[in-house]
Amino acid sequence: MALSRAERCVARLLRLLSRACLALLALVARGPAPPRAVPPPGHPLLLLPARRLAARLRARQVTCVEVVEAYVERIREVNPLINAVVKDRFEEALQEARQVDQLLSESPGNDCLEEKFPLLGVPITVKEAFSLHGGEGCVLAAACSVTGVGSDIGGSIRMPAFFNGIFGHKPTTGVVPNDGQFPNAQGVRTSFLCTGPMCRYAEDLELMLRVMAGPSVDKLRLNEKVSLEKIRFLCMDHDGGSVFVWPVDKEILQAQKKVVEHLESELGVQVQHVAIHKMKYSFQIWSAMMSSKDSDGQEAQLFTDLLGDHGKPVWPLWELVKWLVGMSSHTLPAIALGLTEKVMKLNPGGNAKLVSMGKSLQEEMEALLGPDGVLLYPSHPTIAPKHNSPICMPFNFAYTAIFNVLGLPVTQCPLGLSSEGLPLGIQLVAAPYNDHLTLAVARYLEEAFGGWVLPGKV
């Protein structure tokens, strides 16, 4: 899928500007930086998956107060280094832990508790700014929590999970309710926003998903036994060369190649390499579909309206100027999304074609994956960037965002560390309601490649 001459020129210009921006950031950031290595967790309770921790609590092998105290101590130990927990409720959590211990002491048996409260007593963290990403992945990776909740309309579960070397699952659209978060989706975006689990251990993804999905969990066939040897594995190394997105890092490609080789040698399967042309336009498709009308003709609420909180209008270009001099009250991703909305509205005809292309891609992907297919696809084109570097490569999220508008379930799975000690990973994609396939493959790859890496090992 060769690029046209015009596309190659645009790509070179964009990458030249990006590299110039990165060089400028590196120049500004020069100077000695204090060491910020996170120490390894010392308490053995911090290393238990949620499923096993819940079982020990039900068996009265440990008290909920002991568990919560261990996590509170861990947060106090490392949060000065990572600045990820912005609001604690330690005293309330300890009070709730005492109530859990009281309930456990009065309970007649474990079976009833496991069915009704499968995660009773297990600490969990939730993003305060639910629609933003970063902190939750860091909290989990640093062993300050064992499970977390994320929202994902363009990759806000999977990108921080990838950058921090943990597991994250974007469920099939519409299975887990999005109630209670702000800003909540309206119009067509309700079909793209997903709420899902983020975990250190693959085995906890399914347990969390069962709880979060509630009555809709039966749609996912999670009780179905998965035979890995019968899965049709597909592999796509990159998006085909988008002019908006950086090339995939060599170490990410090498990690994906190792997965393919392992599946073929250990499971005896033949991984099919595919090239899906429309994926090259992932960013444009996502942007157009985010701004499209729903089936009732209702237009999506403008993100700039949310930024203004239904008050004074927000002008994204002016906010960008203010942000560059440190005067904007909005984040750069929010400003960029507002700018994207404005630009997309300038070309309604082109938008309609992109929406049509997106629907065609959805049909193509569902037919390709079928009832037994899992696609291997990079979680991101680059390894975890330094702070502020995404300013210079703002559209790389297209690698995750495309699957939001396609409505497909996706699991981000860690694959060890790069040569610089940064997490590697891969996306596992299946057809709608085949979440059980990606979760099963994630558990297998965790055993094969080690999963989450203990802090302090590097």
Say what the pLDDT of residue 424 is.
98
pTM over 0.85: yes
Say what the pLDDT of residue 336 is.
72
CA triple 90-129-167, angle to 5 deg: 80
Quick one: DSSP state of residue 293? Answer: B
* CB neighbour class for 367 (10 Å; exposed up to 12, middle 13-18, buried from 19): exposed
Say what the pLDDT of residue 131 is.
47
Structure tokens at 2: 């060769």
Beta-sheet strand order (sheet of 373-377) = 124-126, 147-152, 194-199, 167-170, 410-417, 423-429, 373-377, 232-235, 272-273
Distance CA 302, CA 283 (A): 18
Give the closest residue to 115 by CA, choosing from 219, 207, 223: 207
Q: How far is CA 383 from the centre of its chain?
A: 14
Residues 6+ apart with CB under 8 A from 288: 344, 350, 351, 354, 355, 358
Say what the pLDDT of residue 294 is.
67
Structure tokens at 411: 């699991």
Say what the pLDDT of residue 243 is.
83
Distance CA 279, CA 361 (A): 8
Q: Give the 3-state secondary structure of residue 79.
A: helix
The owner of tokens 């701004």 is: 291
Say what the pLDDT of residue 8 is.
58
Distance CA 247, CA 245 (A): 7
Torsion of Cα atoms, 323 then 328 then 333 then 339, to 10°: -80
Instruction: Give per-residue burial for 154-174: e unless 16+ CB within 10 Å, then b.
Output: bbbbbbbbbbbbbbbbbbbbb
- Tens-digit pLDDT string for the chain (458 aa): 444 565 556 556 656 666 666 677 667 666 555 557 899 999 999 999 999 999 999 999 999 999 999 999 999 999 999 988 888 899 999 999 999 999 999 887 667 888 889 999 999 998 765 545 558 999 999 999 999 999 998 899 999 999 999 999 999 999 999 887 766 666 777 788 899 999 999 999 999 999 999 999 999 999 999 999 999 999 999 999 888 888 999 999 999 999 999 999 999 999 999 999 999 999 999 988 988 776 666 666 666 776 776 567 778 888 878 877 778 877 766 777 777 777 777 778 888 899 999 999 999 999 999 999 999 999 999 999 887 677 677 789 999 999 999 999 999 999 999 999 999 999 999 999 999 999 999 999 999 999 999 998 65
Amino acid at 280: K
Quick one: DSSP state of residue 443? Answer: H
Q: Would you list the DSSP string of 97-134?
A: HHHHHHHHHH-S-HHHHHHH-TTTT--EEE-SSTT--S
Distance CA 399, CA 240 (A): 11
Distance CA 402, CA 148 (A): 23
